[in-house]
């Protein structure tokens, strides 16, 4: 599939679907069981419809050190209870691998933490670049009412994805809609 000649692709705005897509991922509500705080709201929504929460358009390269994997992440607007739609979130299997995000469209936050429990929640808006250092798990959250949160990302080919740790423990911080707007709250269900 991949050859070693330089290549280009285009990310047209507003669609943000790259002109080259090697793999398209669709994540639905059913794939996020146990991730949202309000389990009752989650079950009620899922019983109604298995909504599409986010999509990833990947541009593949060999998954080896020295290569970079790239793509577009599109988180759709919505909420489960008071909690905004978000990605599963993950550590990289090779913990010492960083990631760059460039925000193309929308509003949101990147929720991040280290295995030692150090947390960071960075706001995301168009034109911003976020550097996720090695060892930081990361989850994108869309807080716009109408617009997708669209980011271009790149990370090392050998990074891999560790979803298990986050599925078990969750993130320390949650992004919720409160009476006075967006709230970053502690996750009462975070498990050590
Ligand atoms: C990665 C990137 C990024 C991420 C998507 C979807 O390591 O591949 O962080 O592309 O995969 O934003 O998020 P989840 O992988 O957490 O579902
Ligand atoms: Ni990642």
Atom of ligand 1 nearest to the CA of 73: 12
Q: Give residues with Cβ within 8 angstroms of 176, minimum separation 6.
A: 37, 82, 83, 84, 182, 183, 184, 185
Q: Which residues of the chain fall short of a pLDDT of 50?
A: none
pTM metric for this prediction: 0.96
Q: Pick the residue whose CA is nearest to atom 12 on ligand 1.
A: 73
75 - beta bridge partners?
54, 149
CA atoms within 13 A on the CB side of 25: 16
Report the separation in Å between the CA atom of 180 and the middle of ligand 2, taken as the mean of its atom positions.
Answer: 31
Atom of ligand 1 nearest to the CA of 88: 16
pLDDT for residue 138 = 98
**SS3 category, 72:** strand
pLDDT for residue 2 = 55
Q: Is the Cβ–Cβ distance between 9 and 18 less than 8 Å?
A: yes
Is the CB–ligand 1 distance for residue 89 below 6 Å?
Answer: yes
Largest Cα–Cα distance of the chain, in whole Å? 53
pLDDT for residue 4 = 85
Cα 35 to Cα 38, 77, 163: the distances in Å are 9, 17, 11
pLDDT for residue 3 = 64
pLDDT for residue 190 = 84
Dihedral (Cα; 183, 185, 189, 192), 10-degree rounding: 140
Phi-psi region of 104 (alpha: psi -120 to 50; beta: other; left: phi over 0): alpha
Atom of ligand 1 nearest to the CA of 138: 9
Is the CB–ligand 1 distance for residue 79 below 6 Å?
Answer: no
**SS3 category, 118:** coil
- 171-181 pLDDT, tens digit per residue, is 999 999 999 99
Per-position DSSP letters for 126-182, written without gaps between them:
TT-EEEE-TT-EEEEEE--SSS-EEEEEEEETT---B-HHHHHH--SEEEEEETTEE
Is the CB–ligand 1 distance for residue 153 below 6 Å?
Answer: yes
Q: What count of other Cβ atoms lies within 10 Å of the Cβ of residue 123? A: 15
């Amino acid at each position: 599939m991949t050859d070693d000649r330089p290549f280009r692709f285009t990310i047209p705005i507003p669609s943000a679907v790259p002109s080259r897509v090697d793999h398209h991922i669709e994540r639905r509500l059913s794939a996020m069981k146990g991730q949202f705080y309000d389990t009752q709201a989650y079950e009620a929504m899922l019983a109604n419809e298995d909504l599409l929460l986010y999509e990833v358009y990947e541009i593949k390269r060999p998954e080896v050190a020295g290569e970079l994997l790239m793509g577009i992440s599109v988180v759709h607007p919505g909420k489960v209870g008071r909690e905004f739609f978000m990605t599963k979130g993950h550590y990289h299997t090779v913990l010492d691998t960083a990631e760059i995000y460039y925000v193309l469209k929308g509003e949101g936050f990147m929720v991040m933490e280290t295995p030692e429990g150090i947390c960071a929640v960075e706001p995301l808006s168009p034109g911003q670049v976020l550097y996720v250092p090695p060892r930081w798990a990361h989850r994108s959250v869309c807080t716009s009412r109408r617009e997708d949160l669209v980011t271009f990302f790149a990370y090392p080919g050998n990074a891999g994805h560790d979803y298990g740790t986050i599925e078990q423990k969750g993130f320390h911080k949650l992004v919720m809609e409160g009476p006075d707007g967006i709230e970053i709250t502690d996750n009462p269900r975070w498990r050590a």
